[in-house]
Amino acid sequence: MQMKRKTQPSSEHTEQVERVIVRPNGPLEGEVAIGGAKNSVLKLMAATTLAEGRHVLHNVPRISDVGWMGELLEAMGARVEWVGPHDLAIETPEDLVPEAPYELVEKMRASIVVLGPLLARFGRARVALPGGDDFGPRPVDMHLRALESLGATIDFAHGYIEARARRLRGQRIVFEFPSVGATENALMAAVLAEGRTEIDNAAREPEIADLVRFLNRMGAQVSGAGSSTLVIEGVDRLHSVEHTLIPDRIEAATFMVAVGIAGGEVTLQGARADHMDILIQKLGDMGMRISPSSEGIWVMATKQLKSVDIQTLPFPGLATDYKPFLVAALTVADGVSIVTENIFSGRFRYIDELVRMGADIRTESHHAVIRGRPMLSGAQVRAHDIRAGVAVALAGLKAEGETVVSDAFHIDRGYEDFVEKFKSLGADMDRK
């Protein structure tokens, strides 16, 4: 069924959730299927602008952000439709309008990654400055410097980034920080650039490797995925392909931490342990038992978690997207923990919501000190962004009374059937 632009988000690709209601319950038991990676699919959808033809993506989650990215592609002239429960077809015409309008880009920051591929294919791109989750500044300076080093001219006018280049030319790009978005934009621009591009201090996340596989299947020549150096030999033309997404390691982390909070034994079908080494190590230090299985990852927790110190770092370090879940778990762990956020300066806003639930947390700069307690107290709380909304919902699994998460439409941006999956494991959770 074709996505229509009037849906933001639509009931067609996700049911908008206004409130999630959580009551303490446990243990969690059973199996849950982990969907395709949100942080991969949006970039793959952007990459389809590099070549005309019919692209088909498999294992695509039916989430709001996929709907919005589909609307963005349709605004440029592509045709986007579901051709199966989790199969998405994108028809990219020969001529796209290389412009990403504000009313769509402001919904999610990931939209900025259309800048590189549009510029590479059409020699020009006009993209509104991005919006999205509100947890601190994520400037696009590194994106733009990388494109300028490839020969682009960048201007700003009326809230838009306007980029032009007759044809990009390969260069050596060195990032001061391994930014995922900047790596993706530079990579997608370089595949159609003339000559050789080397990206040093590139991001190493599994989603980058998934994008490299997709681009190489399209006819690109990229090596070094998974390392800090990507080497791209530019080609003149790419072609449309089919591709299956990697599983969503952030969704897998959500259920792993939930088991730690509520107790129980759960198998995460399709999850990949090799994408989550540091998280698995930390949860093991907290007292959980976790093991890869033929089906995915087996997770078990039988007693109160132990406190640990954690810090977020670029992959293969502990992902910043894991941190809100871990903070929620540490509020009910035994002992004192120190959490350090090294990626995004503003990503502690959800802590006020946890404090409303009785959590003992003190923050200073990019550090949080957490004194765990056996139980929290249910309260009216708010989802400030996707992962923050999930964090307070997870805390509700260990909070007396009822936890009501408002603005929970944020959760739909990154999770398909969030409440239904938890209910299938025995959680006392509803939506209203």
Question: Do 226 and 341 reside in the same domain of the chain?
Answer: no
Nearest to 230 by CA among 208, 202, 211: 202
What CATH number is given to the structural domain containing 370?
3.65.10.10
Maximum pairwise Cα distance, the chain? 62
Residue 3 in any domain: the answer is no
| Domain assignment present for 42 | yes
- Of 244, 272, 302, the last residue of a domain is 244
- Within a domain: residue 332? yes
Same domain, 306 and 371: yes
Judgement on whether residues 300 and 350 belong to the same structural domain of the protein: yes
Boundary (domain end) residue, out of 226, 244, 262:
244
Last residue of a domain, one of 199, 221, 244: 244
* Separation CA 349–CA 191 (nearest Å): 38
Looking at the structure, tell me whether residues 234 and 291 fall in a common domain. Answer: no
The closest of 122, 108, 36, 41 to 72, measured between CA atoms, is: 108
Q: State the pairing for strand pair 296-301/289-292.
A: antiparallel
Domain residues for the domain of 386 are 19-35+247-431
Angle, alpha carbons 109-37-383 (nearest 5°): 55
pLDDT given at position 103:
87
Considering its fold, how many domains does the chain have in total? 2
The pTM score is 0.93
Query: Among residues 5, 20, 52, which one has the least CA distance to residue 411?
Result: 20
**Residue 356 domain-assigned (yes or no):** yes
Query: Alpha-carbon distance 183 to 209, whole Å?
Result: 11
Is 385 one of the annotated active-site residues of the chain? no
Q: Are residues 202 and 296 in the same domain?
A: no
31 and 72 inside one domain: no
78, 205: one domain: yes
**Catalytic residue (choose from 65, 87, 95, 133):** 133
pLDDT tens by residue, the chain, 432 residues:
344 433 333 334 444 558 999 999 889 999 999 999 999 999 999 999 999 999 999 999 999 999 999 999 999 999 999 999 999 999 999 999 999 988 888 877 778 999 999 999 999 999 988 754 443 444 689 999 999 999 999 999 888 999 999 999 999 999 999 999 999 999 999 999 999 999 999 999 999 999 999 999 999 999 999 999 999 999 999 999 999 999 999 999 999 999 999 999 999 999 999 999 999 999 999 999 999 988 899 999 999 999 999 999 999 999 999 999 999 999 999 999 999 999 876 668 899 999 999 999 999 989 999 999 999 999 999 999 999 999 999 999 999 999 999 999 999 999 999 999 999 999 999 998
Residue 358 included in any domain: yes
Q: Is residue 73 part of a domain?
A: yes
> Does 290 reside within a domain?
yes
How far is the CA of 48 from the CAs of 9, 27, 214, in angstroms?
22, 43, 10
Do 225 and 137 fall into the same domain? yes
Determine, yes or no, domain membership for 118.
Answer: yes
- What's the CA dihedral at 156, 158, 163, 164 to 10 degrees? -110
Q: Which residue from 18, 32, 15, 21 is spatially nearest to 428, judged by alpha carbons?
A: 21
Structural contact between residues 81 and 2, judged by C-beta atoms closer than 8 angstroms: yes
